[in-house]
């Protein structure tokens, strides 16, 4: 296979990336005290040393009382946390790699008793975590204003520590995606209704983030059709509906869309073999990042169709070269611009260098246990 296109430089806004390989954001829950410690710092630095062009951090909670949902995830506020992210940014830059923190609010996915205050309830558009499933409380207009402000403060912090940009997590059934999804957004005000109205919350966050970033910093937006709550959920049933959802986000200031699918090779709509990243690029004209089982021979998450129980597959192989062939062929025809690698890069911090050098036999198999380790 030819991997040449994967290692060509590219630009987003004024940011030049040395190649098209992105480290995908992966929740680690390995930051006791909610700040990136030395082990976390070195975890990211190893991927920069390994040839990655852009690292997007694990989800980092914004400064809102209900933003966090899980133990030991890092925050993107507070002196100790921001000091750690500044060190990460500086060290990654020393290796020629760019860095975006991913800004995150979990919404209704907040587990009862979560940090920092166990008494804080989950919040969401309509007090729903999924269709017909109540959890937490419905957000007031003041709640919405507070969350938008928290994302803005995080963007200002990213500007202060001189990251290359930020990514807003708008996917996977977390808060912003809960506003997108008609299954969890039953609001009757300006934040509910059709696709355009349900995108208003995201648009206002994007506008506030863009306002607080430096002019040269990149704003990435992560989106998905699927939700943790329902893998088969779809925000848009057609390209026309996808356009209605996306164009307000473009107008608000998105520079690049990070399009999360479970398998990058699957077509998004029947009329074309384009995947989600391909359709988003075609509709918006913006650069896109594709992601979904890159370098793996099976999907990571599956749900039992009868019980709905989510299971993690025990993967023992890492490199599906047929899928890499398909990946580089699609990249070469400019269906998308960048490729995010997740679990394969957990097993191989130097995944980019190994693939560039065609050292496929040196790629270590991904093991499920590595999800809980800082390798």
Q: Where are the alpha helices (DSSP H) in the chain?
A: 38-49, 79-94, 141-160, 175-180, 195-198, 200-212, 239-252, 276-284, 321-332, 343-347, 351-356
CA angle 133, 136, 139 (to 5 degrees): 110
Count the Cβ atoms, other than its own, within 10 Å of residue 329.
Answer: 13
C-alpha 236/C-alpha 268 separation (Å) is: 10
Quick check: is 75 catalytic?
no
CB 122 within 8 A of CB 135: yes
**E strand or H helix at 133, and its extent?**
strand 133-134
Measured distance CA(28)–CA(253) in Å, rounded:
29
Catalytic entry in 44, 75, 174, 191: 174
CA angle 211, 217, 221 (to 5 degrees): 80
The Cα–Cα gap between 276 and 263 comes to 10
Structure tokens of 157? 């912090």
Please identify every residue annotated as catalytic: 174
């Amino acid at each position: 296979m030819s991997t040449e296109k994967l290692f060509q430089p590219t630009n987003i806004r004024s940011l030049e990336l040395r190649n098209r390989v992105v480290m995908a954001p992966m929740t680690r829950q390995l930051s006791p005290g909610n700040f990136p410690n030395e082990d976390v710092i070195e975890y990211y630095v190893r991927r920069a040393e390994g040839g990655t062009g852009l690292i997007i951090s694990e989800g980092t909670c914004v400064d809102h009382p209900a933003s966090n949902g899980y133990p030991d995830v890092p925050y993107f506020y507070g002196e100790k946390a921001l000091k750690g992210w500044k060190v990460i940014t500086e060290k990654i830059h020393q290796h020629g790699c760019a860095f975006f923190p991913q800004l995150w609010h979990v919404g209704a996915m907040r587990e009862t008793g979560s940090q920092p205050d166990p008494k804080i309830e989950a919040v969401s558009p309509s007090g729903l975590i999924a269709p017909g499933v109540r959890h937490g409380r419905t957000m007031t207009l003041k709640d919405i204003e507070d969350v938008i402000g928290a994302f803005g403060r995080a963007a200002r912090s990213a500007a202060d520590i001189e990251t290359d940009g930020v990514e807003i997590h708008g996917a996977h059934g977390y808060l912003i995606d809960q506003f997108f999804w008609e299954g969890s957004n039953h609001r009757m005000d300006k934040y509910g209704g059709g696709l355009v109205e349900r995108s208003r919350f995201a648009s206002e966050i994007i506008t506030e983030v863009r306002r607080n970033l430096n002019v040269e910093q990149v704003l990435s937006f992560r989106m998905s059709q699927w939700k943790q709550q329902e893998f088969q959920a779809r925000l848009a049933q057609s390209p026309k509906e996808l356009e209605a959802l996306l164009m307000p986000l473009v107008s608000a200031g998105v520079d690049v869309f990070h399009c999360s699918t479970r398998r990058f090779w699957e077509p998004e709509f029947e009329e074309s073999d384009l995947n989600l990243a391909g359709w988003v690029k075609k509709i918006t004209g913006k650069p896109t990042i594709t992601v979904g089982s890159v370098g793996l021979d099976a999907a990571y998450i599956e749900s039992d169709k009868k019980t709905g129980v989510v299971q993690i597959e025990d993967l023992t192989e890492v490199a599906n070269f047929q899928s890499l062939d398909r990946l580089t062929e699609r990249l070469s025809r400019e269906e998308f611009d960048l490729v995010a690698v997740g679990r394969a890069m957990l097993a191989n911090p130097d995944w980019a260098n190994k693939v560039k050098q065609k050292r496929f036999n040196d790629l270590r198999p991904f093991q499920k246990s590595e999800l809980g380790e800082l390798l």
